[in-house]
Structure 1
Amino acid sequence: MIGGSSYGSELVGQLQELRESVLWKLEGLQEHDLRRPMTPTGTNLLGLVKHLAGCEFGWFGLVFGRPAPIELPWLRPGAEENADMWAAPDESREYVVGLYRRSWEHAAGTFEALDLASTGTVPGSDRPVTLRQAILHMIVETARHAGHVDIVREHIDGFAGRGPGNDNLPHTDAARWRAHVERVQAAADLFL
């Protein structure tokens, strides 16, 4: 029912733009690069996508009495810690991306069935939350992880930008980027 609300449609549109940006950053990479840990805490591209899928199934499913239509292995009792933050060897790129897209479809069902003022309850608490609050939460969550995806991808192969057809970067060549990085490094080195 939020489709009838222009504000609700705008919120979902913003969320969808972020979702698509996250998946765009996976394009052109081999399996190893999608999976390898790029930070001391193991942050990796497929893990971020898998985590976002779980978040969407939770915030747009469980919170509103619509559990995921599939089992999420990382929610099983005794599941390995942080199992939602990396892709196990038997979880292919297609599986993780498909899982994320399925979470969008499940969310769309929630958006169709409810209005922005509809309330649900966050599992494990008595805290009520409106669908509007849940959408805003997922926009923030997805934007935060989209930033992680941006940085991880740039560390892998230098690929940067906001999305297809909108890189949101100053239009400059590699030599100008090198000069910029040298300028930033020289300023930082003054504080050694």
Structure 2
Amino acid sequence: MTDVKVELHRRLRGARTHLLSRLVGLGEYDLRRPVVGSGTNLLGLVKHLAGVEYGYFVEAFGRPWPERLPWVDDGSIWHDADMWATPDESATDLMALYRRAAGHADRTITELDLDAPGLVAHWPAERRHTTLAVLLVHMVVETAQHAGHADLARELIDGRVGGELTEPDGSLFAAAQTAAGEFAEKI
């Protein structure tokens, strides 16, 4: 029988790994440039998730933050300052921050039971008292969602897709795009 906590933790680690794999082989410019109208960019996703991991798996359980995040301390997080990299934040630094945050989160997940009580102060009053189980599910979903955003961002940057960041096959993609377009036209 599969242990739910073990499975959720495995899925979270897998989503983290997938997200970071989308950054491989790109330079600083491509990692930080927005690729859609909302401003989504690869380093912003990493920076955002680093802060979220600290918030939901460290702060929510009364554990001390191992490092301060300027965008949290100054409140600019509430104006999306965690969604882009500043010029003084290198890709190497932000990926290392994410790995450190994940490491601290992993310790919390390992050390606490699923029913361990937590508190997310910025959540609505009726939900702010929560548990490790709820936050673990929340983070699996959020990380997987942002990993999907990273998939699309990477495809928009250089056309690479899939687990191995395969070179684009124009004929395959053209056929798929044509078929999908033809089906859409029939609606």
Q: Deviations over 1:73-120 (max 9, x none)?
A: 111235372110000011001111001100111112212321111011
- State which drifts further: 79-88 or 55-64: 79-88
**Equivalent of 1:74 in 71, 81, 98:** 71
1:139 aligns with: 140
TM normalised by structure 1 equals 0.86
Question: Aligned-pair distance for 1:21?
Answer: 0.1
Establish whether residue 94 from structure 1 lines up as the match of residue 108 from structure 2.
Answer: no
Q: Distance in 2 between matches of 1:122 and 1:11?
A: 20
1:65 correspondence with 2:99? no
Match of 1:85 in 2: 83
SS where residue 76 of structure 2 aligns?
coil
CA distance in 1, matches of 2:152, 2:91: 19
Identity of aligned residues (%): 46
Structure 1: runs of 5 or more not aligned: none
- Structure 1 pair 64–190 and aligned structure 2 pair: CA distance change class (3 A): same
Give unmatched runs, 5+ long, in structure 2. none
CA contact (8 A) 1:68 1:106 kept: no
Letter in 1 for 2:34: P
Aligned residue-pair number: 181
Residue 128 of structure 1: how far off its partner (Å) = 1.2
How well do the aligned residues superpose, as a CA RMSD in angstroms? 2.2
- Which residue is equivalent to 2:173? 177
2:21 aligns to what? 24
Question: What is the match of residue 51 of structure 2?
Answer: 54
TM-score by length of 2: 0.88
Tell me which amino acid in the other structure corresponds to 2:101. S
1:25 and 1:149 in contact (8 A); partners too? yes
